[in-house]
Amino acid sequence: MAKAAPMNFSNPALRRNPIRTAVRVAWSMALKRRPPTRPLVVPFDEGRLRIYADMQTAFGRQMYRFGVLEPDLRLVRHLLRPGEVFVDGGAHVGLFSLVAAHAVGPEGTVYSFEPVSETFRQLAANALLNGLANVRMYCEALGAISGETDFTVMQGDRAPWSHMGSPSDGEVGVRLKVPVATLAERIPTEVWRKIALVKLDIEGAELDALRGGEPILDAAHPPILMEFVPGHFDGFGIKPHDVLAFLTDKAYRLLRPSDDPEVWISCSPEQAMHLDPERPNLLATVSLEAVSRRGVRVVNDG
């Protein structure tokens, strides 16, 4: 989902405020060469929240230059209400967790999972920065069964692409062991029916996470927002169609993004195999009407 992208002059921030953005771009290049002793704080979510921007990473520099460019954060705000529950698998530094925590309020809860210890510390720091006490954070990966697994921590600007399993050919990463939990064992049964959205961005391990949360899906049928990149499943011996079949067998309908972040397009499994690589996310729901009632505009393909 939110990962560093190459700079281009069609960036909305450049169009809205070209001089300010150009100054930030120039200053960020200087800070890349001589990083500050601590991460800078930048506003995001239309000023409702703040987040640390690590100028030693491409992701941090992008946030500093342009702000947070993640259209699916609008979906989170549409689908969540005060007192509800949000699950964030692959929380990274907390973009989705922070927005969700603000949306569900003190009476709601966010369950965030991030297995990379350094990234987990950034997640915790961002929650603390915003005074969000309703985020429960776990330095764990999500899987089909609990235990321990190999994990590849990518270095430098590739850090957001860290993943379960060993490094692929040509990858430069550090291999280590991380704990694995299942959604069904981590999320208390008494809040299952309060889950308004499950978000998964775990670089190909989505099916294992879904299997580990199967009791929740069967009992509560929460909407699911997940990254879907067919090539990511190769390292797990999984066929992309198996992921889609797991959902459709449980009566989930599939939606893909449109050019308008307020609009999602109903699609078939075959159409889901050809998502825009710039925004390769799927929304799965058992009720198109339910997500429409929450302000998400749903249209049919074609």
pLDDT tens for each residue of 190-248 = 999 999 999 999 988 999 999 999 999 999 999 999 999 998 888 788 899 999 999 99
Is the pLDDT score of 153 beyond 90? no
What's the whole-number average pLDDT of the chain?
A: 88
Checking if the pLDDT of 289 tops 50, the result is yes
Mean pLDDT, residues 48-60 taken together: 87
Residue whose pair of structure tokens reads 């953005």 in the numeric block? 21
The amino acid sitting at 10 is S
Give CA separation, 8 vs 15, 245, 288, in Å: 11, 37, 35
Contacts for 163 with CB less than 8 Å, ≥ 6 apart:
151, 152, 154, 202, 203, 204, 205, 232, 235
- 3-class secondary structure, 229: coil
- The mean pLDDT of 68-79, rounded to a whole number, is 89
* pLDDT value, residue 295: 95
* Residue 5 pLDDT class (50, 70, 90 cuts): very low
Using a pLDDT cut of 90, give the percent of the chain over it.
62
State which H helix or E strand residue 257 sits in: strand 253-257
Mean pLDDT calculated for residue range 34-59: 86
Is residue 86's pLDDT more than 80?
yes
Confidence band for 17, pLDDT divided at 50, 70 and 90: low
Whether residue 21 is predicted with pLDDT greater than 90 in this model: the reply is no
The number of helix segments (H) and strand segments (E) in the chain equals: 12, 15
How sure is the predictor about 56, in pLDDT bands with cuts at 50, 70 and 90? confident
- Asked whether 269 and 236 are in contact (CB, 8 A), the reply is no
Whole-structure pTM value: 0.86
Distance CA 277, CA 280 (A): 5
- Say how far apart CA 151 and CA 41 lie, in whole Å: 29
Residues of the chain with CATH 3.40.50.150: 72-300
Distance CA 113, CA 181 (A): 9
In the CATH hierarchy, which fold is given to the domain comprising 72-300? Rossmann fold (3.40.50)
**Main-chain phi, psi angles of 182, to 5 degrees:** -105, 150
What's the average model confidence in pLDDT over 73-101? 97
